[in-house]
Homo-oligomer: A and B are copies of this chain.
Amino acid sequence: MDMEFVITSKRKDANKNAVKILEAAKIVFAQKGHETTIEEVAVEAKVGVGTIYRRFNNKHQLANAVAYEVIAEIYEEQVRILKSNLTTIEKVKHVFACYAKITIKYGEIHQMIVDLLVSEKGEEDLKESFLLGLKKLYAEVITNGQKENIFREGDPRLYEIILQNMINPQMVKQIAEIMPLEETPSFLADVALNGLLLKK
Chain A interface residues (CB < 8 Å from chain B): 89, 92, 114, 117-118, 145, 149-152, 155, 157-159, 161-163, 165, 168-171, 173-175, 178-179, 187-188, 191-199
Evaluate contact between B196 and A159: CB separation under 8 angstroms: yes
Most B C-beta atoms less than 10 A away, residue of A150, A162, A175: A162
Copies in the complex: 4
Cross-chain pairs A/B with CB under 8 angstroms, 6 sampled: A152-B197, A162-B196, A165-B168, A165-B174, A168-B170, A199-B199
For residue A174, which residues in chain B have a CB less than 8 angstroms away from its CB?
118, 161, 165
Smallest CB-CB A-B distances: 3 pairs? A195-B195, A194-B195, A165-B171
Contact A198 B152 (CB under 8 A): yes
- Name the B residues within 8 Å of A157 (CB-CB): 178
List the B residue with the shortest CB-CB distance to A152.
Answer: B198
Q: Collect the chain B residues with CB atoms within 8 Å of residue A170's CB.
A: 114, 117-118, 165, 168
Task: Report whether over half of chain A's contact residues are helix, strand or loop; otherwise say mixed.
Answer: helix
In Å, the complex CA distance between A84 and B58 comes to 53
CB closest chain-B residue, reference A159: B196
- CB contacts (< 8 Å) of A196 on chain B: these are 92, 145, 151-152, 159, 162-163, 192-193, 195
A179-B155 contact in complex given A165-B168, A170-B118, A197-B150, C-beta closer than 8 Å:
yes
The answer to whether B161 touches A171 (Cβ under 8 A) is: yes
Residues of B within 8 A of A173 (CB): 118
